[in-house]
């Protein structure tokens, strides 16, 4: 390929990848399978390597740079990033409204209400449509340059849809699921967990290595244009609409309110709904909509007079800490857990709260018998906030972490750089038992009937020593167990036998390789197709796969290098456990001649011959994309039994509708 043809192809790839990225991370409506995106990105990488002059700062390949910074440079904001004044009750809101009315000396103003995302405020600068700099708020006047880390957030466009030179403001945040996953990984490593998603987001964006920030799966909502002059917008709500048009991600849960009564009603509605959001909010932001009226209202030294943040009260409750128990995980980390007098917090009954490690217990001076304040970190994880020392009677007992494993009596160690105590005995019964419980779990081998108690019995009776032993169990051995009759034994053996035919990704996830979750296991299985091929892969081959990083690749290589792992693979293979990927092969849109290639399909109603996931997998394998909602971009709706509003929407928009049999006929062609 000559340089002119390469330049044309690079431009085409930029446009395609930016469009696919926008659909996936901003609209949440991906139009192509991940494999298609990966292939195009790999093609672009190769072209840029072959023609270095064609690599540009806004290239999709520049999301994560390899350079590790020594420190962050200081950035002076062109316009200050002011913090908002707070309102804590209805009276504060009415006082704010009264001040606005007095200053404007008129009634013709409206408010815009937006969810207050609990994250890190950032500023993004664009020149001629290109992202050139991102910074933290800092002290409001001077922040830190975190451009490299912000580039890893895929909902931030590296190039806008129009060549404006503007500065926009937003809130970078960590979704709740990312927060849970990150803390689980940190617990496994013996590292200090993050207290809440906000701290996790801030800590991620202040990493000097952008690859760490990239691994944290952050997101962002843009909430304003700092210098709207060039854009021509005259209201805050119009500015948000413009951000949508330019390709940014804004929060759609916003509303224009004509009166303070409407504002209060909006706030009351979200007070109950916020636990259901996939991200954390801590209040509602209320802004005067007109930019001219905002200028008239002005600012104080610290805050704008035209906006206020209503803060939801943190739900904290008091209960008694009855005991502290210890759990040894499958990686050997010993985690203390508080046993609480049951109490309702954020809609659920809480009886246990993780104490994470010995350092946290010492720092908070937590004792058995204490009355403690409990909340849910990020509305998710029960956490002991502090101790009410005034209620101590003198009967409370100091808790001391053991020096030896509570399961195997091996001496516990604290590895360098870790805060957790860890049992490093590879034959520790708790680790083996927890590993087997993970192996049979729903997302792994899914062996129905093999719960924690049955696994514990089997291990205690020395009928199993590793996961391969599950496939040598006999009926005679099982019926000797407590509460295990002939029918239960037959059912369990049938479930074990059925698990042998699982696709490779189930087995791979069940092995419990560090850093390899269910999604990564499926990615590996799709790419390598056999366990042998994966076991022989090196780090270069593994990291060539989109979204597979160095740590995960190193963990996979290290796992299969162990003689014990190689022996386990042979035992499983001898037992007849499937070692190949049985799911639909990945087909790119370019390669597929299927009807579904490049189309957006919505499944609704009850299907009888396929499960919803089976239908989704088969459609996506043929180059289609399955969406959860019907819109003008929907190409086809497959309506099963009792199809409801989605079918109505399809008919309203004149979208083609098939029944299940028509879908099957097309899939089987």
For residues 523-550, give the mean pLDDT.
89
Give me the pLDDT at residue 591, please: 52
Q: Determine the CATH number of domain 600-667.
A: 3.40.50.10190
Give me the pLDDT at residue 525, please: 92
Q: Domain residue spans in the chain? A: 3-62, 85-311, 317-398, 429-499, 504-574, 600-667
For residues 60-84, give the mean pLDDT.
79
What are the tens digits of pLDDT across the range 646-658?
Answer: 888 888 889 999 9
Is 178 exposed, middle or buried, given 0-12, 13-18 or 19+ CB atoms closer than 10 A?
buried
DSSP assignment, residue 412? P
Give me the pLDDT at residue 185, please: 83
Spatial separation of the C-alpha atoms in residues 449 and 499, rounded to whole Å = 12
Collapsing DSSP to helix, strand or coil, 382 comes out as: strand
606: pLDDT confidence band, cut at 50, 70 and 90? confident
When the pLDDT of each residue in the chain is averaged and rounded to a whole number, the result is 88
Q: What angle do CA 184, 185, 191 make, to 5 degrees?
A: 100
What are the tens digits of pLDDT across the range 358-374?
Answer: 888 999 999 999 999 99
Give me the pLDDT at residue 172, please: 96
> Fold identical between 317-398 and 600-667?
no
Give the CATH fold of the 429-499 domain: DNA polymerase; domain 1 (1.10.150)
Query: 404-413, 489-498, 623-632 — which one is most confidently predicted on average?
Result: 489-498
For residues 339-359, give the mean pLDDT.
85
Give me the pLDDT at residue 649, please: 84
Give the CATH fold of the 85-311 domain: D-amino Acid Aminotransferase; Chain A, domain 1 (3.30.470)
- Among the ranges given (132-136, 144-148, 415-419), the one the predictor scored with the smallest mean pLDDT: 415-419
Q: Which residue has the higher pLDDT, 426 or 251?
A: 251
Spatial separation of the C-alpha atoms in residues 485 and 471, rounded to whole Å = 19
Task: Decide if 336 contacts 310 (C-beta within 8 A).
Answer: no
Give me the pLDDT at residue 589, please: 47
Give me the pLDDT at residue 377, please: 62
For residues 253-263, give the mean pLDDT.
95
Give me the pLDDT at residue 347, please: 59
What are the tens digits of pLDDT across the range 285-304?
Answer: 999 999 999 999 998 877 89
What are the tens digits of pLDDT across the range 22-39?
Answer: 887 777 677 777 667 778
For residues 55-68, give the mean pLDDT.
74
Give me the pLDDT at residue 34, please: 67
Which residue in the list 101, 116, 249, 255 is annotated as catalytic? 116
User: Which residue, among 397, 430, 404, has the nearest Cα to 324 in the 3D structure?
Assistant: 397
Give me the pLDDT at residue 379, please: 54
427: pLDDT confidence band, cut at 50, 70 and 90? confident
Give me the pLDDT at residue 346, please: 66
CA 103 to chain centre: 44
What are the tens digits of pLDDT across the range 442-477?
Answer: 889 999 888 888 998 998 889 998 899 999 999 999
Task: Decide if 216 contacts 204 (C-beta within 8 A).
Answer: yes
Q: Which residue has the higher pLDDT, 119 or 62?
A: 119
Buried b or exposed e, range 114-143, using 16+ CB within 10 angstroms:
bbbbbbbbbbbbbeebbbebbbbbbeeeeb
Give me the pLDDT at residue 133, please: 94
Spatial separation of the C-alpha atoms in residues 451 and 484, rounded to whole Å = 13
Q: What angle do CA 630, 636, 641 make, to 5 degrees?
A: 80
User: Which residue, among 34, 70, 245, 82, has the nearest Cα to 148 in the 3D structure?
Assistant: 70
Q: What angle do CA 166, 170, 176 make, to 5 degrees?
A: 155
Q: Determine the CATH number of domain 317-398.
A: 2.40.50.140
What are the tens digits of pLDDT across the range 540-577?
Answer: 999 888 668 888 999 899 889 988 889 999 999 999 99
Please say if the pLDDT value at position 306 is more than 70. yes
Query: 53-67, 203-217, 418-432 — which one is most confidently predicted on average?
Result: 203-217
Q: Determine the CATH number of domain 504-574.
A: 1.10.150.20
Please say if the pLDDT value at position 495 is more than 70. yes
Indicate if 302 belongs to the active site.
Answer: no
Please say if the pLDDT value at position 644 is more than 80. no
Q: Which residue has the higher pLDDT, 605 or 126?
A: 126
For residues 9-33, give the mean pLDDT.
81
The CATH H-level superfamily of 3-62 is Helix hairpin bin (1.10.287.610)
Q: Which residue has the higher pLDDT, 576 or 88?
A: 576
Q: Which residue has the higher pLDDT, 169 or 6?
A: 169
Q: In the beta sheet, which residues pair with residue 114?
A: 285
For residues 401-428, give the mean pLDDT.
85
**Please, which residues have CB within 8 angstroms of residue 193's CB and are 6 or more apart in sequence?**
183, 186, 187, 354, 356
Please say if the pLDDT value at position 71 is more than 90. no
Spatial separation of the C-alpha atoms in residues 565 and 466, rounded to whole Å = 11
* 3-class SS string, 503-528: CHHHHHHHCCCCCCCHHHHHHHHHHH
């Amino acid at each position: 390929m000559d340089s002119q043809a390469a330049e044309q192809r690079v431009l085409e790839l930029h446009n395609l990848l930016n469009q696919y990225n926008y659909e996936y991370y901003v609209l949440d409506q991906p139009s192509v399978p991940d494999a298609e995106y990966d292939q195009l990105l790999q093609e672009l990488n190769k072209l840029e390597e072959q023609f270095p002059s064609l690599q540009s700062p806004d290239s999709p390949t520049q999301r994560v740079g390899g350079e590790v910074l020594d420190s962050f440079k200081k950035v002076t904001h062109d316009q200050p990033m002011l913090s908002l004044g707070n309102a804590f009750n209805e009276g504060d809101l009415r006082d704010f409204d009264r001040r606005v009315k007095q200053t404007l000396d008129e009634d013709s103003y409206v408010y815009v209400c937006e969810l207050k995302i609990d994250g890190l405020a950032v500023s993004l600068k664009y020149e001629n449509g290109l992202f050139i700099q991102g910074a933290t708020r800092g002290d409001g006047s001077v922040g830190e340059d975190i451009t490299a880390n912000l580039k890893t957030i895929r909902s931030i466009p590296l190039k806008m849809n129009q060549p404006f030179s503007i500065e926009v403001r937003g809130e970078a945040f960590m979704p709740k699921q990312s927060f849970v996953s990150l803390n689980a990984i940190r617990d496994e490593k013996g590292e200090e967990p993050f207290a809440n998603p906000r701290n996790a987001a801030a800590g991620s964006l202040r990493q000097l290595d952008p690859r760490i920030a990239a691994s944290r799966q952050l997101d962002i909502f843009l909430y304003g244009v700092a210098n709207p002059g060039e854009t021509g917008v005259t209201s805050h709500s119009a500015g948000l609409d413009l951000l949508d048009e330019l390709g940014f991600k804004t929060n759609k849960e916003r509303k224009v309110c004509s009166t303070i009564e409407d504002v209060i009603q909006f706030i009351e509605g979200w007070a109950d709904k916020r636990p259901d959001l996939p991200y954390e909010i801590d209040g509602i932001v209320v802004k005067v909509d007109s930019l001219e009226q905002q200028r008239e209202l002005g600012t104080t030294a610290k805050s704008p007079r035209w906006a206020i943040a209503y803060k939801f009260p943190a739900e904290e409750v008091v209960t008694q800490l009855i005991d502290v128990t210890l759990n040894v995980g499958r990686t050997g980390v010993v985690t203390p857990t508080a046993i609480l007098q049951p109490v309702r917090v954020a809609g659920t009954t809480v009886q246990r709260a993780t104490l994470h490690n010995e350092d946290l217990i010492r720092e908070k001076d937590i004792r058995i018998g204490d009355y403690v304040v409990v909340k849910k970190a990020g509305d998710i994880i029960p956490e002991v906030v502090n101790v009410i020392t005034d209620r101590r009677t003198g009967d409370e007992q100091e808790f001391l972490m053991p020096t030896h494993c509570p399961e195997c009596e091996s001496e516990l160690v604290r590895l360098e750089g870790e805060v957790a105590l860890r049992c490093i005995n590879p034959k520790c019964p708790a680790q083996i038992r927890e590993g087997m419980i993970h192996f049979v779990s729903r997302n792994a081998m899914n062996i129905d009937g093999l719960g924690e108690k049955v696994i514990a019995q089997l291990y205690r009776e020395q009928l199993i020593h590793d996961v391969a032993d599950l496939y040598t169990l006999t009926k005679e051995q099982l019926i000797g167990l407590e509460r295990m009759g002939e029918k239960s034994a037959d059912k369990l053996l049938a479930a074990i036998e059925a698990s042998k035919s699982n696709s490779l990704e189930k087995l791979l996830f069940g092995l419990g390789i560090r850093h390899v979750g269910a999604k990564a296991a499926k990615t590996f299985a799709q790419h390598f197709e056999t366990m042998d091929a994966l076991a022989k892969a090196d780090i270069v081959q593994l990291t060539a796969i989109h979204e597979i990083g160095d740590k995960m690749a190193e963990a996979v290589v290290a796992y299969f290098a162990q003689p014990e792992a190689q022996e386990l693979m042979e035992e499983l293979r001898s037992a007849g456990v499937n070692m190949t990927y049985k799911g639909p092969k990945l087909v790119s849109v370019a390669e597929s001649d299927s009807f579904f290639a490049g189309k957006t399909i919505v499944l609704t109603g009850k299907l009888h011959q396929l499960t919803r996931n089976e239908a989704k997998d088969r459609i996506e394998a043929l180059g289609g994309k399955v969406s959860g909602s019907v819109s003008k971009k929907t190409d086809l709706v497959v309506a099963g039994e009792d199809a409801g509003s989605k079918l109505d929407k399809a008919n309203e928009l004149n979208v083609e509708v098939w029944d299940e049999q028509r879908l099957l006929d097309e899939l089987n062609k």
